[in-house]
Structure 1
Amino acid sequence: MIYSDYISKSRLDIYEKHLKVQPTQVIAAYHWNKALSGAMLPAFQCLEVTLRNAINLAILSHPPKGSKGLWTPNNNWITDLPRYIGNSKIKPIERYKRATLTKHRQDTHGYLLDQYGNKILARKVKEENLVQQAKELISKEGKKPTPDRIISGLTFGFWVHLLTSIYEDTHGYRLLWPNLTPIVFPNAPMGYERSTIHDAFVRIKTLRNRLSHHEAIWKFHYDDPYTGKPNYKTPIYGAHASCNLLRKHYDDILDMIGWINLDRKNTFLKYSANLRFYALCSVNGLNSYIDPDKISTRVNISRGGRGIRKLLKVLSRNDFMRLTKSNETILTIGADNSMKIDNT
């Protein structure tokens, strides 16, 4: 069997139709997309971890005043808040299982009870199910499902859903927003409220889902002027336009990290975690995979002398080296190239 037996035709066709590469360049472009997706992961991870830790810290340090007696804003909030939302949003007749036989253990309203006297749930809200799934996965690993482990095991989608209006209470101060908005997002642009912040995170979550499903991360569509949502009948064509849009989304991710904590963003940039993405997300980045001869800047290694030969030797063995000036390191270089190095 050949590679085409394992990659669907529709996955590859878009590289010709939308990215406008030649048929012989499709597989190279496909691997460029893999490298580009990998280069985005550090920013996605940074945003997700920063968001979840900020929400957790805000609840513990600034518990909503109206939550008293409804849900506990302590270390167990991760299970207690979704439970409260479930009790509030779902009618009892749908929320709890009904007893079908008189011999079944039940309360005075006919709802089934477990061995501890608690009503057995028939329906849960989304967050309750996600918490339960995280607990089960942690237990399968032979670990105790502590609040910290549950928080770490929850998906990005869980945290984005906490930004919805379900967790907003503008009058009773029982829930997260707007109480914690300035605590979790102290650096958000002026005038940004929960709904605007939520919409921004939904856009990034959609992009992250595309990466997780191994889709073309560079593929975009024009927005419908009436709905503001992507119109899948109007794709954007060409490498230059596609890369520009993906860069815009990436810059949004970095900005959103800064909305939560500027030090977190600055540390990310300090260690150059963004540079590989910017290099790959360009026409030259694509050309480095599909047609290196189109890259105009070049160094003739036959004239490079000892330094270039040493660099090639180090890179060919997948090692790192540093470039220095006056004994000061100015750049580290490792084997991160799109073509095999022939050190002959």
Structure 2
Amino acid sequence: MEAWLSSPRFSVYLAATGADRDRALALYEWNARLSAALMHDLAHVEVGLRNAYDGALSARWPGPPHWTLAANAVFAPVYRTRGRRRVDVNEKPRDSLRQAIANAGGTGAPSGKIVAELMFGFWRYLSSAAHEKTLWVPALHRVFPPGTDRALHVDGPVGRLHALRNRVAHHEPLLTTDVAGRLADMLGLAARLDARLGQYLQATSTVANLLTSRP
């Protein structure tokens, strides 16, 4: 098992099971199943979020061209002072768009393909405080029901889910992760995006059941 998983990785599960090797392997298998279940749920939330944001940005910048090809207008330079440096907070989104366009096959690619090439990290930061005046107020707040608080109901949960997704994608242990809290984040965000999405995720998620079957 050490040769397969590596001694450092397996040692985490050994430590959690009092050096019981059979139980440690069972715990590793449980962690893998939990990760797969979380990725299932995260995929629904990520796709729902990006399509909702795409709709809001398309309404705000109807084009032509599509907003993904108008990065200099949608993500015009906005400077913030960080330490002793002035930083353009929109430089990274513009770079992400350029990379997505290249990955999609160039500027002639369908807009939906470009949107699909944008990683979760791109969408995650659109709700940050740095984009409140330029994106949230004029466009993205329209995705959510009245009374939605940007920081509390959107940016906080999306940030935590982004961190969880990175952990799951790298096959890391979830033994000390507040998975129940992250499930609540997903269900809450999904319901704000679309009540039917929230209901569907509630009905199809297996995460809660898996949490009760930890070895």
Q: TM-score range by the shorter chain?
A: 0.7 to 0.9
Alpha-carbon distance in 1 for matches of 2:19, 2:198: 35
What does residue 68 of structure 2 align with?
A: 78
1:212 to 149, 166, 169: 169
Q: Provide Cα deviations, 1:272-296, integer angstroms capped at 9, x if missing partner.
A: 311x3222222xx223xxxxxxxxx
Measure, in 2, the Cα distance between the counterparts of 1:16 and 1:5: 15
Q: Which has the higher helix share?
A: 2
Cross-structure match for 1:281:
211
Give the alignment's Cα RMSD to 1 decimal.
Answer: 2.6
Q: Distance in 2 between matches of 1:37 and 1:23?
A: 21
Taking the aligned partners of 1:36 and 1:161, their CA distance within structure 2 comes to: 26
Instruction: Give the match for residue 55 of structure 1.
Output: 53
State how 1:171-250 maps to structure 2 within 5 Å: 175-186=134-145, 190=147, 192-196=148-152, 197-220=154-177, 245-250=178-183
**Structure number with higher relative contact order (C-alpha < 8 Å, ≥ 6 residues apart):** 2
Does the 8 Å CA contact 2:27/2:214 hold for their aligned counterparts? yes
CA distance in 2, matches of 1:27, 1:82: 51
| Alpha-carbon distance between aligned partners in 1 of 2:48 and 2:57, rounded to the nearest angstrom | 14
- 2:83 aligned partner: none
TM-score (norm 2): 0.82
User: In structure 2, how many angstroms separate the alpha carbons of the residues matched to 1:21 and 1:280?
Assistant: 23
Contact conserved, 1:178 with 1:194, CA < 8 A, in 2? no
Q: Which structure has the greater CA radius of gyration?
A: 1
Q: Distance in 2 between matches of 1:148 and 1:20?
A: 50
Change (3 A) 1:193 1:135: same
Task: Kindly indicate whether the alpha-carbon contact (under 8 Å) linking 1:58 and 1:184 is maintained by their aligned counterparts in 2.
Answer: yes
Q: Give 3-state SS (helix, strand or coil) of 1:286's partner.
A: coil
After TM superposition, the score normalised by the length of structure 1 is 0.53
Distance 2:31 2:50 in 1: 28
Task: Trace 1:1-344 onto structure 2 (pairs within 5 A).
Answer: 3-18=1-16, 22-61=20-59, 63=60, 72-74=61-63, 76-81=66-71, 85-89=75-79, 125-139=91-105, 144-169=108-133, 175-186=134-145, 190=147, 192-196=148-152, 197-220=154-177, 245-269=178-202, 272-274=203-205, 276-282=206-212, 285-287=213-215
Kindly, what percent of the aligned residue pairs are identical? 23
Helix, strand or coil: the match of 1:162?
helix
| Structure 2 residues without counterparts, runs of 5 or longer | 81-89
- Deviation, 1:176, is 1.7
